[in-house]
Amino acid sequence: MSTFVVPASRQQPCGAHVCAPRVRAPRKGTGYRRLIGVALCAALVFLPLGTSSYAKPGGPPGSQGTYDLTFAGALTGDGHATVTPNKVNLHGKVVDAAGNNGNLVAPNLDMNDGRFNGTGKVFGSTVNISGRVEGADGTTIKVVRILANYDVPGIGNGRIVGERKGP
């Protein structure tokens, strides 16, 4: 029988004599656990990419039509919006804090899954708009409505709200 000699650098004291280091047996199933863990992490990383590419074009059912709008914030006033299957058009007569009257026009804002964003013009400046069209569920949301935020550099920001006209 051959004897196994442990190098001095690997020897461990255990009581009155020196023992060889303990050798652990591999755990059963660790390869599968590790594989499942890696697969779950990969799924979480790529989940946002997959869901955003499946956004439904257009808005919720019954959202197409004309809306009455109210502007609040740095610009106040009223106007109207037209929602088509894939676009939102906003037009409003607004007044700024200095009392200047103007028209806010944001045509052809792209809409996907009820959400829209883009740019328009007011007082010769660019206005950034992002919002959504919400369908009515009859319980929480009684009527189809449009909600948006706007930002005009150098003037300020605010909200646009409105509801669909007609049935």
Contact by Cβ (8 Å): 111, 59? yes
Domain membership flag for residue 59: no
Instruction: Please tell me the total count of domains within the chain.
Output: 2
C-alpha distance from residue 125 to each of 39, 71, 91, 102 (Å) = 49, 17, 15, 11
Whether 154 and 133 share a structural domain? yes
Whether 48 and 117 share a structural domain? no
Residue 120's DSSP bridge partners are 127
Whether 44 and 96 share a structural domain? no
Whether 95 and 47 share a structural domain? no
Q: What is the pTM of this model?
A: 0.64
Lookup: tokens for 94: 């607004």
Q: Give 85-106 pLDDT, tens digit per residue.
A: 899 999 999 999 999 999 999 9
Domain residue limits at 78? 65-164
Whether 47 and 75 share a structural domain? no
Give the residue carrying structure tokens 């935020």.
149
Lookup: tokens for 42: 């990969």
Q: Give 25-82 pLDDT, tens digit per residue.
A: 666 656 666 767 777 766 666 655 444 444 556 666 667 889 999 999 999 999 999 9
